[in-house]
A = this chain, B = another copy of it.
Amino acid sequence: MQAPAGDRAAAVAGVLARCRELVRPAVVEAVGQLHPWTGEMAAYALGWSDTAGTPDPGGSEGKGVRQALAVLGAEAVGADGGAGVAGAVAVELVHTFSLLHDDIMDGDGLRRQRPAVWKAYGTGPAVLAGDALLALAVQRLAEAPGPWSAVAVRHLSGTLSTLVWGQAEDVRFERLPWSGPGAVGPEQYRSMAEGKTGALLGCAIALGAVLGGAQAGTVAVLERAGRHLGVAFQAVDDLLGIWGDPAVTGKPVHGDLRRRKKTYPVLAALAGGGPAARELAVLLESPGPLDGAAAARAAVLVEEAGGRSATRKEARRHLDAARHALREASLTPAAGADLDALFTYLLDRSW
């Protein structure tokens, strides 16, 4: 029997807070080793301070999902959560690096309702701060004590390559046509999402498990769970980018359609064929910006052509696969339950 959604949210909030408390001092200590200038940008990017370097208690820290996955990954294989901290630090730093550089590439001026680092500090400095975070992530994991650091670094470095590969696909997709033989299909989009979003979530749990001393087989199953979670998470993000409540998402209504972003719902709709798909393609291929009315029409067409329901199915399928993988690994009950609750909660947004 599942707990009611409200209780589950409170329980997950407790788990995230507990993991954050465990990991935070190590992240602070690591960032303190940076050059003061890149350290200032890192603190801003992490939501710890404003552009003047002043602590920002009402700041914009992320949810800390990746660090929690690393801690729970260690606990799930029977180790103390502290064993996963070095992995948690690495994935939080890599995540921050990727946000910094992706915002430059995508030209996104806002991140968590504040100016992106490149907007606040300039493009060159933002490139530098990202590089510093990436180098620090690898260094900290490589220097972590214990017998598992080399295996952990191998995992992280493979993930880095996959992450950058996913970002390259994402940027490339923006240049491809909406229809015809060169168009992006939903399967290509899923690979991209698995690289760009899934790889680091999978790596987070895997690092926790590796540092907790798990066997390679258990690590592989947990990594797979995290990757499915990432694909599901991206699908939900895509739904929210079109139909999400602006008051909740902080993003404009039909925002992804106005920006002509190639997301799963749109690509699934176009791939389905039929009159709604054809009208949608014409709309998306029209020159000039998509205004509010056109974006609203596009949203209706995506839904009519089956893109919304296909994306819901996609999210559900990958969440199920992720939870199935969790059950497949024999995990300690408490951490296994925490992971399952966290997985479910992350997808439990209005879609």
Using a CB–CB cutoff of 8 Å, the interface residues on chain A facing chain B are 33-35, 37-38, 101, 104-107, 123-125, 127-128, 130-132, 134-136, 138-139, 142-143, 149-150, 153-154, 157-158, 160-161, 163-165, 167-169, 171-172
A165, B35: Cα distance in complex, Å: 6
Given A128-B164, A131-B167, A142-B150, 14 additional A-B pairs, CB 8 A: A35-B165, A35-B168, A37-B168, A38-B168, A104-B123, A105-B128, A124-B171, A128-B171, A130-B131, A131-B134, A134-B160, A139-B160, A142-B157, A149-B150
Closest A-B pairs by Cβ, 3 of them? A150-B150, A105-B124, A135-B160
The reply to whether A135 and B154 form a contact with Cβ atoms under 8 Å apart is: no
> What residue of chain B has the Cβ atom nearest to residue A100's Cβ?
B127
A331, B198: Cα distance in complex, Å: 47
Copies in the complex: 2
A158, B137: Cα distance in complex, Å: 10
Residues of chain B within 8 A (CB-CB) of A138 are 138, 153, 157, 160
A167, B127: Cα distance in complex, Å: 11
Tell me which of B131, B157, B158 contacts A101 (CB under 8 A). B131
Residues of chain B within 8 A (CB-CB) of A131 are 101, 130, 134, 164, 167
A142, B127: Cα distance in complex, Å: 24
Shortest A192–chain B CB gap in Å is 11
Tell me which of B124, B153, B164 contacts A135 (CB under 8 A). B164
Residues of chain B within 8 A (CB-CB) of A128 are 101, 105, 164, 167-168, 171
A107, B123: Cα distance in complex, Å: 11
> What residue of chain B has the Cβ atom nearest to residue A38's Cβ?
B168
Residues of chain B within 8 A (CB-CB) of A139 are 157-158, 160-161
24 residue pairs A–B, Cβ–Cβ below 8 Å? A33-B161, A35-B164, A35-B165, A38-B164, A38-B165, A38-B168, A104-B123, A105-B125, A124-B171, A127-B127, A128-B164, A128-B171, A130-B131, A131-B164, A132-B161, A132-B168, A135-B157, A136-B161, A138-B138, A142-B158, A143-B157, A143-B158, A150-B150, A150-B153
Shortest A20–chain B CB gap in Å is 25
A104, B130: Cα distance in complex, Å: 13
Shortest A95–chain B CB gap in Å is 14
The reply to whether B135 and A169 form a contact with Cβ atoms under 8 Å apart is: no
A132, B157: Cα distance in complex, Å: 11
A154, B168: Cα distance in complex, Å: 28
Shortest A277–chain B CB gap in Å is 28
> What residue of chain B has the Cβ atom nearest to residue A166's Cβ?
B35
Shortest A321–chain B CB gap in Å is 25
Shortest A13–chain B CB gap in Å is 33
Tell me which of B135, B153, B158, B172 contacts A37 (CB under 8 A). B172
> What residue of chain B has the Cβ atom nearest to residue A165's Cβ?
B35
Shortest A262–chain B CB gap in Å is 16
A156, B160: Cα distance in complex, Å: 16
